[in-house]
Amino acid sequence: MTNKASNQQDDIWDVIAKGLVEAVKMVFSAFTCIFVSSAQNKDEDEPDSGYRSGSAGSGCYIGNTRIDDEK
């Protein structure tokens, strides 16, 4: 009887260990997905359009061109 109880206990720990490994894999995958997507967003070559401080001073820009330049 003790052999059967020991086998069941080993099976329970085996299931817990496999479940823990799968949980760690899922968490790692989620962090990897977030890290990769945030790294890809930083590689934009063209700056945002709108009001910002640019090379020609603060103002409204479309790409690199200031559109409210008063000359």
Measured between alpha carbons, how far is 48 from 25 in angstroms, rounded to an integer? 36
Domain definitions of the chain by residue range: 2-66
Secondary structure (H, E, C), 24-40: HHHHHHHHHHHHHHHHH
pTM above 0.75, yes or no: no
Model pLDDT for residues 2-60, shown as the tens digit of each residue: 566 667 777 899 999 999 999 999 999 998 888 887 766 554 555 666 677 766 677 78
Per-residue pLDDT at 69 exceeds 60? yes
